[in-house]
Structure 1
Amino acid sequence: MTKAKWIWLGLVALLYGTFWVWYGGNGEPLSEEEGLEMLKQIEQVHGVKLEDTPEGSMSRNLRVMLPNDDGKEFYAVNLETRAKGSGAAEAEARYAKIVMPLLFERGGHPVFVSERAGLMLGKYGEEVDRVAVVRYRSLRDLMDMIADERMLEGNSFKTASLAHTEVFITRPTITFLQMRLIVGMFLALLAIAGLTVIGRLQKRRTNAASARA
């Protein structure tokens, strides 16, 4: 193995290690004191106090979650009913344009988005147009995102695009989606491709040197 190949493998390994640390999912739990301070920031940004929000509001549910936070990743399951009218689709696109960067900055991302195709059991699903599952790195990241001032504009578009939405938090017991594995496999292929390119370049240089000799 040549020095150039070792350097290349080291760079790929460093890239994967950086991704592993950034992607997180097993951080320090929020203390209740820190969580309450973040809730105050959310109140200041959105101009609504916790006690003035209705039952079932995000602020009230976040307050309930604080004492049980474990610092780990979780998945939010969104059950969405679209608003009527021609402007709803445009508002949805503008909401996504604002929220997606906020998610990616904090190691979050959509995992699954699906349109309802029919009913198998029950009646509640008749009210649901779409199901979306979103990965969050931690409760701290979720609250930090909500406290971002860009969410003010984002929420106005969300309200315009959805007639109703229900969101609940889950932690998977079985999942076949392993983002670290996917990224690791991609970087492994990149490493192999890089080694191949380096090997060919070195061989070409060796042949060129032999020809000049």
Structure 2
Amino acid sequence: MNRAKWIWLVCLGLVYASFWVWYGGNGDPISEEEGLEMLAKVEQVHSIKLEDTPEGSMSRNLRDMLPNDDGKEFYAVNLETRADGPAALEAEAKYGAIVFPLLLERGGHPVFVSERVGLMLGKYGEGVDRVAVVRYRSLRDLIDMIADERMVEGNAFKNASLAHTEVFITRPTITFVQVRLMVGMFLGLFAFLGLVVIGRIQRGRGDATAT
């Protein structure tokens, strides 16, 4: 293999290594002191006080998560009941335009979004219109995103688009969603195509020199 092909492969290897580090998911746990400082920033940005929020509020639940954080990635399962009307749909689109970039900046992204089409067992699902599963790189990233000033407007749009939502945190025991593997396979295919192109260019130059 000649120098040009080695350079190509090394560059793609560095790209994948950089992605692996950035995507994370196995960082240092957040300390309770750091977490409380970040939650204090959330209170300041959103003009709320923890003691004024009801039981089950995000602020209270996040505070309760701090002592048990392990620094690893997790998945938030959102059970959503939509509000009615075109204004709610417009608010939903505006919320997505705000929150998706905030997620991606911190290695987060939607994993699964699905509309309910029926019931198989039980009655609770009658009040659920949509299920969304979102990957977060860490608890630290989640709180940092909530503390972003852009989320003030984002939350207003979210509240306008939903009549009710329940969110709980999970870690999968079985999953076929392998983002690192998919990116690695894509870069592997890209590497192969690049080697083919480089080979053809070099052969073309060789033929031109020979003539």
Whether TM exceeds 0.5 here: the answer is: yes
The CA deviation string for residues 43-94 of structure 1, in whole angstroms up to 9 with x for no partner, is: 0000001000011000000000000000000000000000012200000000
Match of 1:112 in 2: 112
Structure 1 position 121 matched with structure 2 position 150: no
The SS at the match of 1:84 is coil
Gaps of 5+ in 2: none
Q: TM-score, structure 1 length as denominator?
A: 0.99
User: Aligned partners of 2:47, 2:54: CA distance in 1, in Å?
Assistant: 14
Moved over 4 A (4+): none
CA positional deviation for 1:30: 0.2
The CA deviation string for residues 11-44 of structure 1, in whole angstroms up to 9 with x for no partner, is: 0000000000000000000000000000000000
Structure 1 position 185 matched with structure 2 position 197: no
Match of 1:210 in 2: 210
User: Aligned partners of 2:2, 2:195: CA distance in 1, in Å?
Assistant: 10
The SS at the match of 2:111 is strand
Match of 2:196 in 1: 196
Once the two structures are overlaid, the 10-residue window that deviates more, 130-139 or 84-93, is 84-93
The CA deviation string for residues 173-204 of structure 1, in whole angstroms up to 9 with x for no partner, is: 00001000000000000000000000000000
CA RMSD of the aligned region, Å?
A: 0.3
Match of 1:36 in 2: 36
The CA deviation string for residues 144-192 of structure 1, in whole angstroms up to 9 with x for no partner, is: 0000000000000000000000000000000001000000000000000
1:51-200, aligned counterparts within 5 Å? 51-200=51-200
User: Aligned partners of 1:19, 1:85: CA distance in 2, in Å?
Assistant: 41
User: Aligned partners of 2:107, 2:166: CA distance in 1, in Å?
Assistant: 23
Letter of the aligned partner of 2:8 in structure 1?
W
User: Aligned partners of 2:50, 2:190: CA distance in 1, in Å?
Assistant: 49
The CA deviation string for residues 112-157 of structure 1, in whole angstroms up to 9 with x for no partner, is: 0000010000001000000000000000000000000000000000
Match of 2:24 in 1: 24
User: Aligned partners of 1:104, 1:61: CA distance in 2, in Å?
Assistant: 23
Match of 1:3 in 2: 3
Gaps of 5+ in 1: none
Letter of the aligned partner of 1:186 in structure 2?
F
User: Aligned partners of 1:117, 1:99: CA distance in 2, in Å?
Assistant: 26
